Structure 1
Amino acid sequence: MAVGSESVGASAGDVLVVGAGPTGLLLAGDLAASGVRCRVLERRSSELNLTRAFAVHARTLELLDMRGVAGDLVRTGERVSTVRFLGRARLRFGRLPGRFPFVLVTPQYETERVLEERALDGGVRIDRGCELVGLEQDEYGVEARVRGEDGAERTLRAGYLVGTDGARSTVRRLLNLPFPGRSVVRSVMLADVRLQEAPREVLTLGAVGDALAFLAPFGDGWYRVIAWNRWNQVPDGEPVSMDEIRDATRRSLGTDFGMHDPRWTSRFHSDERQVPRYRVGRVFLAGDAAHVHSPAGGQGMNLGLQDAANLGWKLAAELHRWAPPGLLDSYDEERRPVGRAVIVASGVMLRGALLEQRPLRVLRGFLARVATSVGPVERRLAGAVSGIDVAYPAPQGAHRLAGRRAPDVRLAGERGRLFEALRDGRFVLVVSANDPAVTYLATKRWADRVHCAVAGGATRTTVLVRPDGYVAWATDETVPDRRAAAIREALTRWCGAPTEFPQHERRA
């Protein structure tokens, strides 16, 4: 078998992404937008018209808005501001802050479409039918041995490699990383069907202890049904019959809506697993390659996209040689706790839905109704599920905003909104008014990394926003000299050493 060798770019200063799902495509698009050459390897030779994820949550839509593609995606789906679950309990997303106070219901292939178009427009190369079969790394880069559809192997070299290749990740296996955890539910049935009677709500969920059913629309007349029967636990490879799905749906929802003409069926099991670390040298894991969890809450794809948004700008900073020490390590430090929290929360939701004894189910429904009827509790639940309230650790004594989601504030001038100003992949320094000293710092000394913007409303707080839309640093200092010194220190901490200018410019 012929084995060749080629470099991803002119040097090892580039990134290989293994897996062309939503996580890999968003990451590749971010790297390309930051001027990093990126190549995506995908084992599948073509994209099948199948999907598991339907829910795009508010924080994910904000991340897509920062990339200019949220509007396109929103037009493909239906907005759901209230989700009914566990009988009469309802979780309202309409009270969330921002421009997307809803869950967008749209097939995963639509999310992949807008992300792939963005990546390709940025110059990303996607190699389909290309399987990773070997992986080695040294202190200078990573070598990936890949096999094409013709059986020929070749070696690609890059500065870094990111595995976004799903729950059965080849990258994770080649790193010899454990994937500890357990299965929480087995023999879950999937099918795409037609319905004679449309459900009253966009998302339909029912659980009665020994059965569960969930229905969501593709938007083209087809529905995805997910069903489970406690008394029919068979291996994943066993065929799925419509009688099985109808029976579980009738038990859970009281009707099967006249489902018919399945175009696709499958069976799977749901695990709770997480790798012990998201980084091994120059190789990173993101999305399902790093963590898997119960489908309850619809957070799987969203969690992976947020992994990618966190990692992309940090890799770009490292490759452009301005990353401060420890920046790449902060990917694991920030994202692994978030992944763990989702595993725990989604597991609690699933176990609650599958309670077998009727008295416990009645108590479950009562507690859920009470919790979602208390405004602050409901807001916290919606903030957790939507990702809006995700925050990262901040140093002791940091400003109260540090590590939190930055709101999409209005800006003075042509930038319009903060999320629009973030679209070029730089930090944004939001100041309260035009200040020549501050503007010089941001537009001259750190111009390749920072954009300076003036807040559109009255505020005394100066905020440095990371490229992923989280607050890196903030201050309420108003004394000009002190504020300028604090900003200089923050820019050095987060954006590396300033750009040096020729001697005659420094004198000026």
Structure 2
Amino acid sequence: MNEQQTEVIVVGAGPTGLLLAGDLAAAGVRVTVVEKRGAEISNLSRAFAVHARTLEVLDARGLAEDLFALGGRKLGELFLFGRAKVKLNVLDSRFPYVLMTPQYNVERVLRERAERAGVEFRFGCKVTGLDQTEGRATVRTDQGDLTAAYVVGTDGVRSAVRQAVGIDFPGEAVLRSMMLADVELDEPPADSPAVSGANGAFCFLADFGGGLWRVIGWNAADQQDDDAPVSSDEIRTALKLAFGTDFGMREPKWSSRFHSDERQATAYRAGNVFLAGDAAHCHSPAGGMGMNTGIQDAANLSWKLAAVLRGADPALLDTYAAERHPVGEAVLRASGRIIRVAANKSRVVGAVRGAVLGTALKLDPVQHKITGLISGIDVHYPHGHGEHRLTGARAADLALADGTRLYEALRGGRFVVLDSTFNDIAAADALATAAPDGTARVVRPDGYIGWAGPDDPAAIAAYLESHAGKR
């Protein structure tokens, strides 16, 4: 592809970059993905939890069923420290559970969609620098230069894009020498996932199906460098300390060691360069929110880039950081609290935390707050002065007058106008249908309400003109 034909360069082909690139290509934007890894999708991955809001994001692209077809377990409840129960099955969603499935299944579904949409991939391509001049950005790589109107760095914690544009990434390492492995268990726990901490260690166990269990473990008494190999005895010891048993663990299928950082980029944008996913924020694996937050970053940014490239108000791009930076910060805080409680070495804390947390989760407000945060369902973007209180809220799926669902209508990156008599719709990709109440609203392509109020065709037209652009 001639470099001048590329409109957006996405650096990084993980779940965040793949969803972003697929959205843009589906909207008619010419996209090139640069990835330093080879073309083969790795069968090793840290992420394993796909939460309700991410499943809604996939549903709005017709991909949820494709992911389900690859296998996994749907869990309506999570158990923490034996007694504490997080009830996901009460969520107001078509997906009131977390889907336990390896990250590579998510990548496979998103890669296939991006390829069908016409995304160009450059694998084995390493970024060496980045320049911005006259409203365009040039990515320097070991395979030559690429120039585009916009660049998005979805290239992970050590993001070359973030470093090239000089965005700070402050934070700290919360825990070192964390172990990760996939194992078979002869005597598996009754509940999955299972989390426990005791005697200066904590472990997380999750059933992947097919007889495999994901183990994340940490032992304060056995700290080693990240590049040190993980032995079976280390994992067994951590399990015995945390749970009192190793569950009859067999030899790991694979294992690795890592440290858990809490970091967030001070800005999500530098000129025409954006950051998303782990390049913008990283945190502990507690709660399984990392991959999900990145995918939702991409869903927020993709339609805005596409709209501006086809004539929408460029100020729309400023809302990306305004909406997503607070979400990243909240996830970082929440996962940090969970991991610190789990890793606390105090015998007193270890003895009471399950009971205390279990009691707290029996209170509806506490249960609602935790399930809403972990699942992503309760994310509400800020709205401006004078805007309707619904503006920025997640739009729940609902049945439409033509027999379809709202999230089916969103497919193709459309805006959906609910309860409007407005017929001469300014945006070719907007659909009009009926809402269940008297408040008209425009649902953005990412499934959030962009405008709400009395049925006002002129106001709806003005919103679509500034936010949708032209094809």
What CA distance in whole angstroms lies between the structure 1 residues aligned with 2:42 and 2:461? 50
What CA distance in whole angstroms lies between the structure 2 residues aligned with 1:9 and 1:448? 27
Q: Secondary structure at the match of 1:351?
A: helix
Amino acid at match of 1:430: L
CA apart distance, 1:220: 2.7
Pairing partner for 1:258 from 214, 230, 248: 248
| Deviations 1:111-134, CA, capped at 9 Å, x for gaps | 111111111111112221111112
What percent of counterpart residues are identical? 52
Pairing partner for 1:283 from 260, 263, 273: 273
Pairing partner for 2:216 from 218, 222, 226: 226
Look up the match of 1:450.
Answer: 430
Pairing partner for 2:61 from 67, 76, 94: 67
What CA distance in whole angstroms lies between the structure 2 residues aligned with 1:263 and 1:490? 53
| Deviations 1:220-271, CA, capped at 9 Å, x for gaps | 3322211110111111111211111001001111211221222222111000
Amino acid at match of 1:467: P
| Deviations 1:95-126, CA, capped at 9 Å, x for gaps | 10010000110011001111111111111122
| Deviations 1:353-392, CA, capped at 9 Å, x for gaps | 1222122333433331121101232012101110000011
Look up the match of 2:423.
Answer: 439
Look up the match of 1:332.
Answer: 321
User: Quick check: which has more Rg, 1 or 2?
Assistant: 1
Any conservation in 1 of the 2:286–2:338 contact (CA below 8 Å)? yes
In structure 1, runs of 5+ residues without a counterpart are: 1-5, 148-152, 500-508
Amino acid at match of 2:386: G
Amino acid at match of 2:62: G
| Deviations 1:153-207, CA, capped at 9 Å, x for gaps | 3111111111111111111121122210001011001122222223322312111
Any conservation in 2 of the 1:297–1:346 contact (CA below 8 Å)? yes
Tell which deviates more after alignment, 373-382 or 289-298.
Answer: 373-382
Pairing partner for 1:491 from 441, 451, 464: 464
Pairing partner for 1:465 from 432, 443, 459: 443
Amino acid at match of 1:42: E
CA apart distance, 1:47: 2.5
Pairing partner for 2:83 from 88, 91, 97: 88
What CA distance in whole angstroms lies between the structure 1 residues aligned with 2:437 and 2:212? 49
Q: How does 1:68-467 map to 2 (within 5 A)?
A: 68-75=62-69, 76-147=71-142, 153-321=143-311, 323-413=312-402, 416-431=404-419, 435=421, 438-440=422-424, 442=425, 446-455=426-435, 458-467=436-445
CA apart distance, 1:293: 0.6
What CA distance in whole angstroms lies between the structure 2 residues aligned with 1:209 and 1:18? 42
Look up the match of 2:8.
Answer: 15
What CA distance in whole angstroms lies between the structure 1 residues aligned with 2:457 and 2:391? 18
Look up the match of 2:36.
Answer: 43
Amino acid at match of 2:423: T
Question: What RMSD, in angstroms, separates the aligned Cα atoms of the two structures?
Answer: 1.7
Q: Secondary structure at the match of 2:316?
A: coil
What CA distance in whole angstroms lies between the structure 2 residues aligned with 1:320 and 1:495? 8
After superposition, the Cα gap between the structure-2 partners of 1:209 and 1:281, relative to the gap in structure 1 and judged at 3 Å, is: farther
What CA distance in whole angstroms lies between the structure 2 residues aligned with 1:8 and 1:64? 30
Q: Secondary structure at the match of 2:229?
A: coil
Any conservation in 2 of the 1:187–1:234 contact (CA below 8 Å)? yes
**1:28 lines up with 2:12 in the alignment:** no
What CA distance in whole angstroms lies between the structure 2 residues aligned with 1:490 and 1:317? 12
What CA distance in whole angstroms lies between the structure 1 residues aligned with 2:290 and 2:199? 24
Q: Secondary structure at the match of 1:328?
A: helix
Amino acid at match of 2:68: V
What CA distance in whole angstroms lies between the structure 2 residues aligned with 1:176 and 1:488? 39
Q: Secondary structure at the match of 1:310?
A: helix
Amino acid at match of 1:327: L
Any conservation in 2 of the 1:209–1:353 contact (CA below 8 Å)? no
Any conservation in 2 of the 1:7–1:157 contact (CA below 8 Å)? no
Amino acid at match of 2:37: R
Any conservation in 2 of the 1:210–1:354 contact (CA below 8 Å)? yes
Aligned residues: 469
What CA distance in whole angstroms lies between the structure 1 residues aligned with 2:231 and 2:110? 34
Q: Secondary structure at the match of 1:373?
A: coil
Amino acid at match of 2:155: D
Q: TM-score, normalised by structure 2?
A: 0.96
What CA distance in whole angstroms lies between the structure 2 residues aligned with 1:409 and 1:425? 18
Amino acid at match of 1:132: V
Look up the match of 1:3.
Answer: none
What CA distance in whole angstroms lies between the structure 2 residues aligned with 1:471 and 1:485? 17
What CA distance in whole angstroms lies between the structure 2 residues aligned with 1:164 and 1:144? 14
What CA distance in whole angstroms lies between the structure 2 residues aligned with 1:205 and 1:70? 27
| Deviations 1:446-474, CA, capped at 9 Å, x for gaps | 1324222223xx42111101110000111
CA apart distance, 1:209: 5.0
CA apart distance, 1:325: 4.1
What CA distance in whole angstroms lies between the structure 2 residues aligned with 1:221 and 1:366? 30
Any conservation in 1 of the 2:308–2:314 contact (CA below 8 Å)? no
